[in-house]
Amino acid sequence: MPTRPLVIRYEDDLQLFPGLWHKAGAVLTLAVALGYPWLASERWLTVGNLGLVAIVGAAALMVLTGFAGQVSLGHAAFLALGAYTVAVLGNKWGWPFWLALPLAGAVSACVGVVIGAFALRLRGLYLAIVTLGLVFLTQHVLLAYPEVTNGLSGTSVPMYWWFRGDVGSAASVGDTWQLGPVVLGFERKLYFLFLPLAAGTVWLTKNVQRSNSGRAMMAVRDQDLAAEVLGVSTTQARLQAFGVSSFLAGIAGAMFAFQQQYITVEPPFDLNLSIQFIAMIVLGGVGSVFGAVSGALAFTFLSPLAESVGHALPLIQQLTSAQQATVLLSVVVVLVLVLEPMGLFGVWLRIRRYFQAWPFRY
Amino acid sequence: MALLELDNVGLSFSGVRALDGVSFSIEAGALHAVIGPNGAGKSSLFNCISGIHRHMEGRVRLDGQELTGVEPTEIARLGVSRMFQNLALFEHLTVLENLLLGRHQRYRTGLLRNLFWTRGAREEEVRHREKAEEVIDFLDLEHFRWMPVAVLPYGIRKRVELGRALCMEPKLLLLDEPTAGLNQEETEDMANTLLDLRHELGVTQVLIGHELRFVMDLATQVTVLDRGRVIANGPPSALRNDTRVLSAYVGGTVAA
C-alpha cells in the first residue's frame, strides 16, 4: 500500500495528514486521548493532566530553543508569570478561568518580548545565563509583593465558570457533575479542558514550523549572516520566537496552577523546572513538534514509573522516591543523548524508514 | 546602462588595506568577472556591495539607487542576492525550505496569520512554492527537494545555494567562487548554468573566480584586483596578454 497518495497539487504537500496512514494515526491518537480519562485511575488521570501541561510547556520551549536556537533557562519564569496571573485574577477580581487563561499568556508574552529585546545580541551560554537570572528575578518579584501574591505561603487558584459576584453563576469548576451514569470530577473536567489546549498548541507550533515565520527562525538558528543577506530580519525572528514561546509558556503555567489549585513560588517555579523542560525537548528531539509532544509525555509518564521501580534498584534505594525518579530520568536522558541524539523523533524516523523500505532492510 | 556603479570604494581592517579606491561599473546583462590572487580583496568587495561591511568608504549605487550605508536586508530587497564562497546554507532545513527562504522578503503574511494558517498564508505558501519549483526545474534539483542539505554532496549544495539566490529574483547576482571545490564535470555544469542564466533569464552576474580559464571563457567583462586595487578592467580578450595581470598571478616580472 502506498504510504501517501500521489501529490498533484502543491496544496497537498501542506497538509498535516496527507495520507491514509497519517489519518489513521490521527484517529487512533484521538481515540486514545478521548478514552484515557475513562480508563485511567485517579492517580494516572492526574499524570495525564500534567502530561498535557507539559506538552504545552515543551512546545513553547521548542519554538524558542528548537526553532530559533535560543537556549533558555528562564522557562520556569514564564510559567510562574502565567500561574500567578490566573491566581491573582481569580482571587482579587474573581475572573472566570477562560478569560484569565489568555491573559496569563499575554502577560507572560509581554515580559518575554522585553527579555527578548534585551537578549538580542546574546547567544548560547550568555543567553542561558541571562535567562537564568530571569528565573531568580521573577521569584524575587513574586515574593516581594506578598499583598498581591501572598508571598512565601503561596496562594490558592480558584477556577470559576463565570465572574464571582454574579450570584449563582460563580460556580467553581471543582464541583463534581453527575450526568446520569457519567461522573465528571475535577480532574476529568480539567482533562477535557486541557486536551483541546494541548492540541491547539501543537497545531499552532506546527503552523509556525511549516510557515515562513518558522523558517526564518530556523534560518537565524543555522546561519544568521546568510539569513540577513536573504532579507530575514534576525531581530524580528528572535523576538517572534520569544513572543510565541513565552505566550504558550504562560498558558502552560496557568494550566499547571489550575491543576494544582494551590501554588507557591518555589518549588515548583525554580531552575529545576526549566531544566526539566530542556530535558523533555532533548528527550523528544530538538527541532520538531513531534519531539516536544513525545518528550513531554515520556517525561511525565516515566516519573511515576521510575518512582515505583526505584525502591527495587540497588545504589539508589536510600533516596526518596522523587530523588530516585530524578536519577533514573537523568540516566534515560543521558542514554538518549548518547544513543540517539535526535531523541524520540530520531527513533520514530528509523521506525518509519524501516516500514517504508519493508521487506528490504534498507 | 550601468546596473552597478562602484565609486572609490575603500575598506580597512585595522591597518590592512583590503580595498583601495576601487571604481568600476557593471553593465546590465553582463557576466562580469572579478579575479585576482588570494587576498586581493574580491570577497571584501562583495561584502561591501551586500552591505555587510558598514565601515567602508566610497559609494555603491544599484540602478542609480544608493546602497552605501543601507542595511543588508534592505539591499537584498532591492535586488542584490549572493552566493557565498564557503557555503552558507541552512543545514538542517530541506532543499525546498532553503529555496523558500530565498523568497522570504516577498512574503506578505506575518506571524499572526501564519500561526493560524489562514487561507492567505496557505495561498502565499503555494504561490512561492511554484516559483521555487521553477528554480528547482532550472537547476535539476527535483530529486533533492525533500532532503536536508546536511546530507547532500558538495556539488549539489553549491547548486542549492545558487538556487536560493535565484529564488530572490535578483537584479544582480553575486557569485563568490561558484566552482571552488567542484570537479571537472560539476564545473562544466556550473558554467552551463551561468550561461543559461544570462541568456534565458537575463540576470546580471558578478563572478569571483580563481581559475583563469573558466573566467576568461565565460565572462563578458573582467576586472582584475591586486592588493585591494583595480589593476586592469576590460573584456577578456584584451586582458589575456596583459603583463600586469600575469605578474599579479604568476608573481615577479614576466617577459611579454
Chain segment A129-150, per-residue pLDDT in tens:
889 999 999 999 988 888 878 8
In terms of Cα–Cα distance, which of B195, B170, B198 is closest to B81?
Answer: B170
pLDDT of residue A161: 77
Listed in order, strand segments (DSSP E) in chain A are 155-156, 177-179, 182-184, 262-263
Average pLDDT of chain A is 86
pLDDT of residue A27: 94
Q: Name the residue range of residue A252's domain.
A: 36-270
pLDDT of residue B109: 87
Evaluate whether residue A112 is within a structural domain: yes
Chain B residues whose CB is inside 8 A of the A225 CB are: 52, 88
**C-alpha gyration radius of chain A:** 21
Chain A residues whose CB is inside 8 A of the B129 CB are: 10, 13
Q: Which of B104, B125, B168 sits opposite A216 (nearest CB)?
A: B104
Q: Are residues B174 and B256 in the same domain?
A: yes
Q: What is the mean pLDDT of residues A154-161?
A: 81
pLDDT of residue A334: 87
d(CA B14, CA B185): 41
How many domains, chain A?
1
**Do residues A216 and A236 lie in contact, with contact meaning Cβ atoms separated by under 8 Å?**
yes
Q: Are residues B108 and B151 in the same domain?
A: yes
Q: Which of B73, B84, B93 sits opposite A222 (nearest CB)?
A: B93
Q: Which of A14, A221, A240 sits opposite B122 (nearest CB)?
A: A14
Q: What is the mean pLDDT of residues A39-55?
A: 91
Residue A256 has pLDDT above 90, yes or no: yes
pLDDT confidence bin for B100, thresholds 50/70/90: very high
Question: In terms of pLDDT, which residue wins out, A51 or A261?
Answer: A51
B52 close contact with A: CB closer than 8 A: yes
Evaluate whether residue A199 is within a structural domain: yes
pLDDT of residue A91: 84
Chain B residues whose CB is inside 8 A of the A240 CB are: 111
Q: Are residues B105 and B232 in the same domain?
A: no
Helix axes A42-61, A271-284, angle to 10 degrees: 80
Of B128, B150, B167, which residue is a domain's last?
B167
A14 close contact with B: CB closer than 8 A: yes
Q: What percent of chain A has pLDDT over 70?
A: 95
Evaluate whether residue A359 is within a structural domain: no
- CA-based nearest residue in chain A for residue B145: A13
Evaluate whether residue A9 is within a structural domain: no
- Mutation target vs A (from B70, B111, B133, B161; most A CBs, 10 A cutoff): B111
Evaluate whether residue A161 is within a structural domain: yes
Q: Which of A211, A215, A229 sits opposite B121 (nearest CB)?
A: A211
B29 phi-psi bin (left φ>0, alpha ψ -120 to 50, beta other): left
CB contact under 8 A, A223 and B52: no
Evaluate whether residue B151 is within a structural domain: yes
Q: Which residues of A18-33 are buried (b: 16+ CB within 10 A; e: fewer)?
A: eeeeeeeeeeeeeeeb
State how far residue B166 is from chain A, nearest Cα, in angstroms: 11
Q: Name the residue range of residue B121's domain.
A: 93-167
Question: In terms of pLDDT, which residue wins out, B82 or A27?
Answer: A27
d(CA B153, CA B147): 11
Q: Return the SS3 of B19.
A: strand
Residue A62 has pLDDT above 80, yes or no: yes
How many domains, chain B?
2
Neighbours of B242 (CB within 10 A): 16
pLDDT of residue A15: 83
Evaluate whether residue B85 is within a structural domain: no
CATH label of the domain that carries residue B234: 3.40.50.300
A233 close contact with B: CB closer than 8 A: yes
**Full-model pTM:** 0.86
- Mutation target vs B (from A14, A205, A211; most B CBs, 10 A cutoff): A211
State how far residue B246 is from chain A, nearest Cα, in angstroms: 34
A74 close contact with B: CB closer than 8 A: no
Q: Are residues B98 and B145 in the same domain?
A: yes
Evaluate whether residue B87 is within a structural domain: no
Q: Are residues B54 and B107 in the same domain?
A: no
Chain A residues whose CB is inside 8 A of the B130 CB are: 10
Q: Are residues B52 and B14 in the same domain?
A: yes
pLDDT of residue B67: 87
A to B CB pairs, distance under 8 Å: 108
Evaluate whether residue B86 is within a structural domain: no
pLDDT of residue A66: 92
B256 close contact with A: CB closer than 8 A: no
pLDDT of residue A214: 93
pLDDT of residue A167: 46
Q: What is the mean pLDDT of residues A151-173?
A: 70
Evaluate whether residue A130 is within a structural domain: yes
In terms of Cα–Cα distance, which of B25, B36, B31 is closest to B218?
Answer: B31
Residue B255 has pLDDT above 60, yes or no: no
pLDDT of residue A238: 93
Q: Are residues B43 and B103 in the same domain?
A: no
Evaluate whether residue B152 is within a structural domain: yes
| Exposed / middle / buried, residue B223 (Cβ in 10 Å: 0-12, 13-18, 19+) | buried
Q: Are residues B231 and B206 in the same domain?
A: yes
In terms of Cα–Cα distance, which of B198, B195, B208 is closest to B86?
Answer: B208
Of B147, B167, B187, which residue is a domain's last?
B167
Chain B residues whose CB is inside 8 A of the A213 CB are: 110-111, 114-115
Write the DSSP symbol of residue A6. Answer: P
- Dihedral of CA A266/A267/A269/A275: which sign? positive
Q: What percent of chain B has pLDDT over 90?
A: 27
Looking at chain B, how many residues does it have? 256
Evaluate whether residue A99 is within a structural domain: yes
Evaluate whether residue B88 is within a structural domain: no
Least confident of A191-200, B50-59, B217-226: B50-59
Q: Are residues B191 and B161 in the same domain?
A: no
Q: Are residues B153 and B189 in the same domain?
A: no
Q: Are residues B238 and B179 in the same domain?
A: yes
Of B167, B182, B209, which residue is a domain's last?
B167
A244 close contact with B: CB closer than 8 A: yes
Q: Are residues B19 and B66 in the same domain?
A: yes
Evaluate whether residue B254 is within a structural domain: yes
Q: Which of A207, A225, A231 sits opposite B77 (nearest CB)?
A: A231
In terms of Cα–Cα distance, which of A77, A62, A65 is closest to A112?
Answer: A77
pLDDT of residue B1: 66
pLDDT confidence bin for B38, thresholds 50/70/90: confident
pLDDT confidence bin for B256, thresholds 50/70/90: very low
Q: What is the ipTM of this complex?
A: 0.83
Chain A residues whose CB is inside 8 A of the B99 CB are: none
Chain A residues whose CB is inside 8 A of the B73 CB are: 228, 231-233
Least confident of A271-280, A307-316, B224-233: A307-316
B121 close contact with A: CB closer than 8 A: yes
